Chains A and B, each alone.
Chain A
Amino acid sequence: MLDIQLKHRVGAFALDAAFTAPTPGVVALFGRSGCGKSTTVNLVAGLQRADSGRVHIDGEDWLDTARGLDVPAERRGVGHVFQDARLFPHYSVRGNLLYGARRAKNRLESSRFDDVVELLDLGSLLARRPGSLSGGEKQRVALGRALLARPRLLLLDEPLSSLDAARRDEVLPCLERLRDHCAIPMVLVSHQFEEVLRLATHVVVMDAGQVVAAGDVTQVSLTPALRAIVGSEAIGAVVDGQVVDATGGLATILIGHGDRQGRLHVPCPGAVPGLPVRVQLLARDIILATQEPRGLSVRNQLRGTIRAVLADADSDLVELDVGGATIVARVTRDATAELGLVPGREAWVLVKAVSTRGHAFPATRQAS
């Protein structure tokens, strides 16, 4: 378990971050720029000194100001991947990869080196200098360098935010493989919910130096705190499901359980039956009907019960229960009134298959 309680003050900015998260797993620290996410990971790494607090990971204390304990950063065993990679320009890629490994407590086995090189596809880069690498390559080397130091905790401080979309698509799968193949607890700092959606098993939402929501991604996706940060356009429920069929480009995913289980057909690369999958259903992409619709091209029709109707800006957010899973739809005020959308009422949820995408998520299976 990761247990973090930190208080830190810089000028007028006061950080008070306290959260716990299961390990192994990926904890996302999510929030706007300047909300204290990076400060939090720097304090966890020991690169900045906290005013007071405690950092505890899997039975080991790194910081406990009450007991006067403060393990120096170089002995904490964190792997820190910075936004700007920070490769050493005067070492080759191989030299960079081995820098931490040479200083680790246990000797590096050559098979582990080969594994990491293969996992991150670094084989062709080993002899090169960082100056000649692309942004994505640099970030992959930085990941490998941190991994090879055999860290107890991997800190990823916005590892994708300095990359363009193409480079991001090159590094994101590496992070997914890392999550699924290495049992290293990770903390991911991000201000892109897409990254949280694809990588995190647990999310901590921060705002103005405070933790405003925390929990698994599905729960947190329904909190007002998260909605306030992602903005009304990006509000939507995150649903975990399981692939039951994958043919013809679309995967069939079961969400919820019992006789009210829903079936979703969504594009999902790499789907195989049995695989846990996560889908984000944006509220603005969802249509509600009070009768079973006929003659529509919409492939996804789920039956649910309205749980709550919340006013949001100039429209309403309707939360529905589909076999225990929650889905949120955005409808106009007029529609709410005309259709009589009130809690307890049954409704049909229509989702256009191509408006969303499933993300294979083996990690949810381990976490639950």
Chain B
Amino acid sequence: MDLPGTAELDALRLSLVVAGRSVAFSLLPAVGISWLLTRRRFPGRTLLDAFVHLPLVLPPVVVGYLLLVMLGTQGPIGGFLLRSFDIRLAFTTNGAALATAVMSFPLMVRSMRIALEGVDPGLEQAARTLGAGPLDRFATITLPLMLPGVLAGAVTAFAAGLGEFGAVITFVSNIPGATRTLPLALYSALQMPDGGAIAARLALLSFGLGLLGLLASEALARGLRRWLGATQPGAH
């Protein structure tokens, strides 16, 4: 088998960029929404919960289509963004990252919620009696203690984001160098009569990347748990 060519490396680079940006886009909103869903009772909470999880049950193509309708240059939000801020999402790398973020959002929120449910509200109360206001408590108690879940969520979302296909190809099409990520490149290779070898190399790349991601996430989680739990005496 030949070494991967420029087009394939481009696809790899683009996959990493798209997955990375999608995590960057969704991290803060996911922390906020998981906190709202776990710690607050408000009208419409069930609806918000369902809405967040929608991408899990909708066909990705439907998500991509909805994004196109809303955020396309002719869409209500997309048109506004283009006119007011000169931000174009449809058919761009950022658009691919956004579609990926929407698709992996439920995974991220789920992981953070589990982590947040594991944080004893009693500790937040204790911090409160010690003079810590709401933001202070969140920054010094809640967030550090849910950090393993935040990181696990980010890594899972990143790994899943490397492979997002349906929503991306529907929303931002399959443009080499701009939106053609690994799975899209693989799909294109399969459309070519002699693309079998390219497809195999791309599949192998995806496989290696996925494995690396899972191992990294496991190591990270272990390190963090040690830092937070600190069962051994004398640890700082």
Q: Do A and B bind each other?
A: yes
Whether B128 pairs with A74 at a CB distance below 8 angstroms is yes
Q: Given A80-B126, A88-B141, A89-B145: A127 and B234 within 8 A (CB)?
A: yes
- Contact digits for A197-218, partner B, Cβ 8 Å, 1 yes 0 no: 0000000000000000000000
Q: Does A193 contact B (CB under 8 A)?
A: no
Whether B234 pairs with A128 at a CB distance below 8 angstroms is yes
**Chain A residues within an 8 Å CB radius of B145:** 89-90
**Chain A residues within an 8 Å CB radius of B229:** 89, 129, 131
Q: Does A99 contact B (CB under 8 A)?
A: yes
Q: Does A86 contact B (CB under 8 A)?
A: yes
Q: Does B193 contact A (CB under 8 A)?
A: no
User: Chain A residue with minimal CB distance to B133?
Assistant: A74
Whether A132 pairs with B125 at a CB distance below 8 angstroms is no
- Contact digits for B143-169, partner A, Cβ 8 Å, 1 yes 0 no: 011000000000000000000000000
A306 to chain B, nearest CB (A): 50
Residue among A128, A129, A145 with most chain B CB within 10 A: A129
**Chain B residues within an 8 Å CB radius of A131:** 229-231
Whether A149 pairs with B131 at a CB distance below 8 angstroms is yes
- Contact digits for A129-161, partner B, Cβ 8 Å, 1 yes 0 no: 101100000000000011001000000000000
Number of interface residues of B (CB under 8 A): 27
Whether B131 pairs with A103 at a CB distance below 8 angstroms is yes
Q: Does B235 contact A (CB under 8 A)?
A: yes
Whether A73 pairs with B235 at a CB distance below 8 angstroms is no
**Chain A residues within an 8 Å CB radius of B233:** 128, 132
User: Chain A residue with minimal CB distance to B120?
Assistant: A86
- Contact digits for A40-78, partner B, Cβ 8 Å, 1 yes 0 no: 000001010000000000000000000000001111111
**Chain A residues within an 8 Å CB radius of B136:** 103
Q: How many A-B residue pairs lie within 8 Å, measured between CB atoms?
A: 80
Whether A74 pairs with B236 at a CB distance below 8 angstroms is no
A1 to chain B, nearest CB (A): 22
B100 to chain A, nearest CB (A): 32
Q: Given A74-B129, A149-B130: A82 and B122 within 8 A (CB)?
A: yes
**Chain A residues within an 8 Å CB radius of B228:** 89-90
CA distance A86 to B130 in the complex (A): 12
Partner of A86, one of B122, B133, B236: B122
CA distance A100 to B129 in the complex (A): 8
Whether A99 pairs with B230 at a CB distance below 8 angstroms is no
**Chain B residues within an 8 Å CB radius of A185:** none
Q: Does A356 contact B (CB under 8 A)?
A: no
CA distance A10 to B145 in the complex (A): 31
CA distance A104 to B132 in the complex (A): 10
User: Chain A residue with minimal CB distance to B144?
Assistant: A90
Whether B236 pairs with A132 at a CB distance below 8 angstroms is no
**Chain B residues within an 8 Å CB radius of A82:** 122, 125-126
**Chain B residues within an 8 Å CB radius of A99:** 127, 130, 132, 140
A55 to chain B, nearest CB (A): 14
Q: Does A79 contact B (CB under 8 A)?
A: yes
CA distance A17 to B230 in the complex (A): 42
User: Chain A residue with minimal CB distance to B145?
Assistant: A90
Whether A129 pairs with B230 at a CB distance below 8 angstroms is yes
Whether A127 pairs with B131 at a CB distance below 8 angstroms is no
CA distance A100 to B141 in the complex (A): 13
Whether B130 pairs with A145 at a CB distance below 8 angstroms is yes
**Chain B residues within an 8 Å CB radius of A128:** 233-235
A219 to chain B, nearest CB (A): 32
Q: Does B207 contact A (CB under 8 A)?
A: no
Whether B236 pairs with A88 at a CB distance below 8 angstroms is no
B11 to chain A, nearest CB (A): 41
Whether A100 pairs with B130 at a CB distance below 8 angstroms is yes
Q: Does B232 contact A (CB under 8 A)?
A: yes
Q: Does B123 contact A (CB under 8 A)?
A: yes
CA distance A86 to B145 in the complex (A): 13
B141 to chain A, nearest CB (A): 6
CA distance A146 to B127 in the complex (A): 10
CA distance A26 to B234 in the complex (A): 36
**Chain B residues within an 8 Å CB radius of A47:** 125, 128-129
Q: Does A84 contact B (CB under 8 A)?
A: yes
A245 to chain B, nearest CB (A): 45
Q: Which 8 A-B pairs have the closest CB atoms?
A: A100-B130, A103-B131, A129-B230, A80-B129, A86-B126, A132-B233, A73-B128, A90-B228
Q: Could you jot down 8 A-B contacts, CB within 8 Å? A: A45-B129, A74-B133, A86-B126, A89-B228, A90-B230, A131-B229, A149-B129, A149-B131
Chain B interface residues (CB < 8 Å from chain A): 120, 122-123, 125-133, 136, 140-141, 144-145, 227-236
